[in-house]
Amino acid sequence: MKLTDGEKRMLDGAEGPALARALDYVVQLGDAFGAERLTDVSYVHYPAEMSIYRGSVEELVEYAASGAKVAVPTTSSTLACDLDQWPRTGCPAALAGLQGRAVAAHRALGVLGTYTCTPQFLGFAPPRGAHIVSVESSAIIYFNSVLGARTNRGGFLTRYSAVCGKYPLMGYLLDGNRGGTHLFRCRLGAEDLRSPTDWSALGFHAGKFAGSEVPVFEGLPRPTHIDLLALGAALATSGSVTLFHAPPWTAEAGSVEAAFGGRIPKETRDVARADLDAAYDALTTIAPGEPVDFVSLGCPHLTLDGIRGIAEWLRGRAARVAEGVRLWCNTNRMTRAAAAWEGAVAAIEAAGGLVVSDSCPVESHMRLSTCREHGLAAPNVGAMVADSAKMARYVGDLIGCRTALAPRERCLEAAITGRFRGR
């Protein structure tokens, strides 16, 4: 790898051991993938160490004590619990205490305490073409596709890019890797894509075929930013998609032809309503009429508008969550504060729901392995209804519960009746 004189000095320790160590890890990453040089990054979304991984927290605390500081604006992804109301969620005290140690270490490093999977909705929206480093699959695919910023799938080494401000010039940072590979011709109208959950089902269907490559969608009706968020999150769940194009709604290609850059698609598929229905069915193991004990909304995290809509739905029906059912509305602490100021949090909690900050069920103490470690019932959830393909897919594996994918209104109906009516 070719390093600049400044990078060589940093690597040799001229700017201190913390920067030298950080750059060394980044250089090793670039060497492993054959990158020719490094590039400056302008923003990092950091993998907040969750206390469900004890070793990760302990290593973080040790690293923060070294005096390292982030060099670029750095937001943080989700935690394993809501530290402001962990007893209400059933989180063990030991897990919350360990998570608190991680938060203190983040502050020492200079990491911003956003604790969300949607930093783009908190004002961290890098411009088209910006080189960034990010974790959290739904944020990564949104940055790449909807905003046109450039990032690969980050991992543990994201920390070191935040500290040295560098990343190898490789992968999706390069023009040649951003072209489409698979074409999905959508025979779908607005009546087929009526909710973000329908867009989530579309992404879950297409991700299975696109795998780790770049799908292109032709003929989609006009989406909202939440629709595109749901589509991307599901693409990154059934596949490991990092970038998609949906001309003209995404950032980089005004047409299908431009998305492929003159290349022939590896595969072309027509998508009809039946394919969305099949995705719903694949993620639903609860039969209509069966009881449920958990309803999860907000994967990725709810916006202020989303929380307000839930509150208005509950108020309008004078509804209350059924006995034995937990309703979690998942968001970040900044959005929760705004929703509390508006009165939406009070309305949801008056109905028996909970607005959870900084976490979500799949990242929480409810994981099977964590339940066993802390002596909790495993599985902790019997049957969960969710409005997100990502949530339904992962909780089935990690929490071990039966699942149902349904639009938000059907999820809320399940919360107040205690039964799943079907989608």
Coil, strand or helix: which one is 145? helix
257: phi then psi, degrees, rounded to nearest 5: -60, -40
Cβ atoms 185, 271 nearer than 8 A: yes
Which residues of the chain register pLDDT less than 70? Answer: none
> What pLDDT does residue 365 have?
97
Query: Model confidence over 205-226: pLDDT tens digits?
Result: 999 999 999 999 999 999 999 9
> What pLDDT does residue 156 have?
87
Question: What pTM value is reported for the model?
Answer: 0.97
Cβ atoms within 10 Å of 12's Cβ, excluding its own: 10
Among 250, 348, 242, smallest CA distance to 298 is for 348
> What pLDDT does residue 403 have?
98
Cβ atoms 371, 365 nearer than 8 A: yes
Domain boundaries, the chain: 5-83+93-175, 179-282, 294-417
Pick one of 3.40.50.10470, 2.30.30.100, 3.30.499.10, 3.30.1360.30 as the CATH number of 294-417.
3.30.499.10
Among 111, 281, 263, 56, smallest CA distance to 177 is for 263
Is 294-417 the same fold as 5-83+93-175?
yes
> What pLDDT does residue 193 have?
98
CATH class of the domain comprising 5-83+93-175: alpha beta
Query: Model confidence over 36-79: pLDDT tens digits?
Result: 999 999 999 999 889 999 899 999 999 999 999 999 999 999 99
> What pLDDT does residue 423 have?
83
Coil, strand or helix: which one is 97? helix
> What pLDDT does residue 307 have?
98
CB contact set of 341 (below 8 Å; sequence gap of 6+): none
